[in-house]
Amino acid sequence: MEISLACYQSLSLDKIQNSFRFPSSIHEVFRTKPLFSDYCFRFNRRKCGNPCDKIKCFSLEQGLQPRRPKPKPSRNTDSDLKETEETHVKRPSVGICSQIEKLAFCNRYREALELFEILELEGGFDVGLSTYDALVSACIGLGSVRAVKRVFSYMISNGFEPDQYMSNRVLLMHVKCGMMIDARSLFDEMPERNLVSWNTIIAGLVDVGDYFEAFRLFLLMWEEFSDCGSRTIATMIRASAGLELISVGRQLHSAAVKFGVGEDIFVSCALIDMYSKCGSIEDAQWAFDEMPEKTTVGWNSIIAGYALHGYSEEALSMFYEMRDSGVKMDHFTFSMIIRISSRLASVEYAKQVHAGLIRHGFGLDIVANTALVDFYSKWGRVEDAKHVFDRMPCKNTISWNALIAGYGNHGWGAEAVELFEQMLREKMRPNHVTFLAVLSACSHSRLYERGWEIFQSMSRDHKIKPRAMHYACMIELLGQEGLLDEAFALIRGAPFKPTANMWAALLTASRVNVNLELGKYAAEKLYGMEPEKLSNYVVLLNIYHQSGKLKEAAGVLQTLRRKGLRMLPVCSWIEVNKQSHVFLSGDKSHVQTNEIYEKVDSLVHEISKHGYVPKEKTLLPDVDEQEQRILLYHSEKLAVAFGLINSMKGSPLQIVQNHRICNDCHNAIKLIALVTRREIVVRDASRFHHFKDGSCSCGDYW
């Protein structure tokens, strides 16, 4: 729906205006005290001898002084000194300045700033606008706050008089380096602001997530100029996406069309992103279709939009269209497709993307390779993940976290701890995700003592406060050791209110250790926090069943029916010969149904010789009662049988489930792996299970 230009000029943003008291006029705003008055880059509106005499730098107030040479003894008389101060003759610095400009032009920013240090130490050099411009580029290129303070301090001490262009550049330098408080003060004190000035500060506010203030300044800018360019509209569309206000985004879309920039590349990409984030993928597709020239960013935006809403197959289809269109793909494209392949549980897709990544020259890209490490780790290809990780020339914390988490999920706890220690040796700084990954690895592998050492080192050695998820890992670790009293004490001693994850960990520990009273207490806590979450009721139901409390179990079932909570049917799938095959429990729709059921019967007969006896009725999350009646033909057994029939002898099988594997199937698959001499990997809703030679990597705790 379009709006008139007059309506747009008084843009009605109800939610924004409710949060701010808009001034009646722009003059009222500038009569008030600047928002950040402690940092003032003052430009006197009246032309005087040296406008920078009144410059006041926040960094100087904080004690950061420009370095000056030590005073040297001189034979000059007082009159000579006065004459020198009055003339203030500056030494030429053509050679140094020229070198700084060349280094900055070649993107050798660190060397440019090292050369700038000569100017700082010697002082008194005549530095021109082009050199300051190069230094600003160096600061932006490095994103160094310290460099910004050095350069800005030198400008002040050297009496530099910035024109409109350099004022905007200095403002941009502060914005790009994240110094928004200082940038806002500079902006407020500028004697003249053009559209570049406004766009710079507004874009900075949007980048840091201060969307309301960005809209407030946008409206002030509109009142002053009654004009804006495509970049401004694109920025404000991003702000409306951040606020998830699709109505505001539609008004901006209408304005873009009226100003004739509706087909601008930046505006189109911003619209696709906005509509996607606001939940209207149809409008996002329409905005994409209307692009006269579909760029890499445009394709990436629409693919990300589909992926955001869970339309993984549609996103993959758009990727193939992008490839066939001949548009150049970048590392963000490949990173997204790797994550989409992870959702689709398709190793084959990921291999194709991995090959394309190398073919397009992104084989060493840190973002894409980190996504590959994460994918291979999640889908049972730990060796492939390690191979990609070892070949990365540069690794960040996220890269290390991905492989540590992969090791942990597969039960390689010792390897995860060793990788964590290697990370510390290489001076990489761990974050809270790192500790979550390594503590989870300790939990999955029952590394009790090592887990406690790492948990205690978080605040002691790394100044990271443990969060609820870290506590949940430790509760699970204590539960594995049967230390339920200690686990309960850890919950009660937490420095914050216990979360649902913490109580869920205690509930699971109570189920495994068959502690009825503690399990009931934990379940009651969970009911208050997550009254509609099915798994909480089912775990307590299992505890009652195991304890022989049939009356209490019936009460839980009645509660489920009263709340309308229904257990969903279980689904398992396996990929064979580049094709996924999906099975439900008792499923007879597959073309090989007869052969699959015969194989299951044969396997059950074989493993019975090794002590297999079907378990009694037991319910786990998302498992319905119908499945209990067809215990021998659970979806995971059907998937295993199909995989054994249609794969090469001795090759590993990988199965994915949408629930936690039940006790009966867990015991059965352990013995199937033994009698068939196959490695069988099952990824359930909880973790990975590596079945080999009659045992599982989880140690029978999940």
Nearest to 382 by CA among 360, 346, 423, 412: 412
Q: Is 78 exposed, middle or buried (0-12, 13-18, 19+ CB in 10 A)?
A: exposed
User: Which pair of tokens denotes residue 680?
Assistant: 């069988």
Q: Residue 225 above 90 pLDDT?
A: no
Q: Rounded CA gap, 563 and 561, in Å? A: 5
SS3 label, residue 288? helix
CA–CA–CA angle 624, 628, 633 (5° rounding): 105
> Are 525 and 503 a contacting pair, CB within 8 Å?
yes
In the block, tokens 């890269």 appear at: 399
Top-confidence residue, 414 or 658:
414
Is 645 within a domain? Answer: yes
Number of domains in the chain: 2
Instruction: Let me know if 677 is exposed, middle or buried by CB neighbors in 10 A (0-12, 13-18, 19+).
Output: exposed
Residue among 399, 341, 404 nearest 370 (CA): 399
Residue 411 has what pLDDT? 84
Q: Is residue 197 part of a domain?
A: yes
Question: Residue 328 above 80 pLDDT?
Answer: yes
Give the domain-ending residue among 225, 259, 283. Answer: 225
* Torsion angles phi and psi, residue 125, rounded to 5: -85, 150
Whether residue 168 contacts residue 197, with contact meaning beta carbons closer than 8 Å, is answered with: yes
Where is the domain boundary, 208, 225, 242?
Answer: 225
- Looking at residue 259, its pLDDT comes to 86
Cβ(298)–Cβ(327) below 8 Å = no
Mean pLDDT, rounded, for 154-169: 87
Tens digits of residue pLDDT in 243-253: 989 999 999 99
Helices (H) and strands (E) in the chain, counts: 37, 8
Could you identify the residue written with the tokens 């329409």?
286
DSSP letter for each residue of 345-383: T-HHHHHHHHHHHHHTT-TT-HHHHHHHHHHHHHTT-HH
In a domain, 250, yes or no: no
**Contacts (Cβ under 8 Å, ≥6 apart) of 412:** 382, 441, 445, 697
Question: What pLDDT is stored for residue 689 in this prediction?
Answer: 86
The answer to which of 71-85, 318-332, 447-461, 474-488 has the lowest mean pLDDT is 71-85
User: Above 90 in pLDDT, residue 236?
Assistant: yes
Q: Could you tell me which residue, 591 or 663, shows the higher pLDDT? A: 591
Residues 177 and 148 sit within 8 Å (Cβ to Cβ):
yes
The answer to whether residue 640 sits within a structural domain is yes
**Which range (136-145, 202-211, 518-527) has the least confidence?**
518-527
Gap between the Cα atoms of 602 and 693, Å rounded: 19
Q: Identify whether 170 is part of a domain.
A: yes
Among 173, 207, 225, where does a domain finish? 225
Mean pLDDT, residues 31-40 taken together: 34
How large is the angle between the packed helices 109-122 and 129-142, nearest 10 degrees?
A: 130
- The CATH number assigned to the domain holding 206 equals 1.25.40.10
Residue 18's pLDDT is what? 42
User: How many beta carbons lie within 10 A of that of residue 65, not counting itself?
Assistant: 10
Q: What share of the chain is helix, strand, coil (3-state, %, to 5)?
A: 65, 5, 30
Whether residue 632 lies inside any domain: the answer is yes
Cα 613 vs. chain centroid, distance in angstroms? Answer: 46
How far is the C-alpha of 212 from the C-alpha of 20, rounded, in Å? Answer: 8
What mean pLDDT is reported for the chain? Answer: 80
Structure confidence at residue 578 (pLDDT): 72
SS3 call for 119: helix
CA distances from 603 to 332, 349, 640, 681 (A): 46, 32, 10, 17
The verdict on residue 652 lying in a domain is yes
* pLDDT surpassing 90 at residue 275: yes
If you average pLDDT over residues 544-553, what whole number do you get? 75
Write down the residue that tokens 């996607």 correspond to.
276
124 phi-psi bin (left φ>0, alpha ψ -120 to 50, beta other): left
User: How does pLDDT run across 435-470, given as a tens digit for each residue?
Assistant: 999 999 998 888 989 999 999 999 999 999 999 999
Q: Are strands 680-683 and 688-692 parallel, antiparallel or unpaired?
A: antiparallel
Q: Which of 47-56, 117-126, 310-319, 636-645 has the lowest mean pLDDT?
A: 47-56
What local confidence, expressed as pLDDT, does residue 438 receive?
96
The Cα–Cα gap between 176 and 207 comes to 9
**How far is it, in rounded angstroms, from Cα 502 to Cα 596?**
41
Round to whole Å and give the CA distance between 128 and 112.
Answer: 15
| Residue 39 reports pLDDT greater than 50 | no
Residue 387 in tokens: 């191979």
Dihedral angle of Cα 354, 356, 359, 364, to the nearest 10 degrees: -40
For the entire predicted model, the pTM comes to 0.66
Q: What angle do CA 21, 24, 26 make, to 5 degrees?
A: 100
The C-alpha atoms of residue 299 and residue 67 are separated, in whole angstroms, by 50
In this structure, is residue 431 part of a structural domain?
A: no
pLDDT of residue 681: 87
Count of CB atoms situated within 10 Å of the CB of 67:
13
Cα angle, residue 564 at apex, residues 562 and 568 outer, rounded to 5°: 135
pLDDT at position 701, please?
A: 67
> pLDDT, tens digit, for every residue of 554-564?
887 788 777 77
Q: Looking at the predicted structure, is the pLDDT value of residue 379 above 80?
A: no
**For residue 184, what are the domain limits?**
93-225
In this predicted model, which residue has the larger pLDDT, 536 or 611? 611
3-state secondary structure of 34: coil
pLDDT class for 271, splitting at 50, 70, 90? very high
- What interhelical angle do 331-343 and 296-308 show, nearest 10? 20
pLDDT digits (tens, 9 = 90+) for 500-524: 889 989 988 888 888 888 888 888 8
